[in-house]
Chains A and B, each alone.
Chain A
Amino acid sequence: EPEVTQTPSHQVTQMGQEVILRCVPISNHLYFYWYRQILGQKVEFLVSFYNNEISEKSEIFDDQFSVERPDGSNFTLKIRSTKLEDSAMYFCASRDRTHEQYFGPGTRLTVT
């Protein structure tokens, strides 16, 4: 069964460093999402991406964040200068036109 994959599973970085979280969505899916879950809290929407552009972003998704679909298979989330409060689990999701989102296993980001 096709699945969404994410790498790395755990990333540790120092405050101020740039990180790139990678996702490979399911191949025939058209809509892509990033969500964030701070430890012990709810899952929050960050950004959605369709037709090679951002379709919606939340207020969390400020200028420090960017997304890209560089090669037709990967979908990346970049955080330019990480802060302590960026420590969270980041989930990628994708969907086709009419079905629910399929989530990846998540990347745990720890900013020290």
Chain B
Amino acid sequence: AQKVTQAQTEISVVEKEDVTLDCVYETRDTTYYLFWYKQPPSGELVFLIRRNSFDEQNEISGRYSWNFQKSTSSFNFTITASQVVDSAVYFCALSEALIPGANSKLTFGKGITLSVRP
């Protein structure tokens, strides 16, 4: 069975601080995908990143960066120089391989509520 643990429930930072959101996962699959989604107060789910289990390179996209460590089953997300607009709930999710015929449902963590104060 797949499981995603986001141990942090709420984080509050002051604008311009860096913040790291933790994600630990469990799966028996050898090929799998990890995701981060942002859910702003308006409620929609905004896709941020997809990473497959064979690619352990860290990724940076603007102020966002992701650290995937297969040895510790973690996929952490860092926001550098946080802004008020980053305030949202952030979900980490896991799916089996995205191949034809695979169901590939997403298993979500409980989410982390990030509040960025001016």
The B98-118 residues at the A interface (CB cut-off 8 A) are 98-100, 103-111
Is residue B32 within 8 Å, beta carbon to beta carbon, of the partner chain? Answer: no
User: Which segment, of A37-45, A68-76, A78-86, faces chain B?
Assistant: A37-45
Is residue B91 within 8 Å, beta carbon to beta carbon, of the partner chain? Answer: yes
**Which residues from chain A contact B111 at a C-beta distance below 8 Å?**
42
**Which residues from chain A contact B35 at a C-beta distance below 8 Å?**
100
* Chain A residues with a Cβ closer than 8 Å to the other chain, count: 26
Secondary structure of the B side of the interface?
loop
Interface size class of B (residues with CB under 8 A): 20 to 34
User: Which residue of A is nearest B97, CB measured?
Assistant: A98
**Which residues from chain A contact B105 at a C-beta distance below 8 Å?**
33, 45, 48, 56
Point out the residue from B33, B44, B107 that lies within 8 Å of A100, measured CB to CB: B33
Secondary structure of the A side of the interface?
strand
Point out the residue from B43, B50, B91, B109 that lies within 8 Å of A106, measured CB to CB: B43
Q: Is the CB of A45 within 8 A of B43?
A: no
User: Which residue of A is nearest B46, CB measured?
Assistant: A103
A45-B106, A48-B105, A97-B98 known; 17 other A-B pairs, CB under 8 Å?
Answer: A31-B104, A33-B106, A41-B110, A42-B111, A43-B45, A45-B105, A45-B107, A56-B105, A91-B45, A95-B98, A99-B98, A100-B33, A101-B104, A103-B37, A105-B44, A106-B43, A106-B45
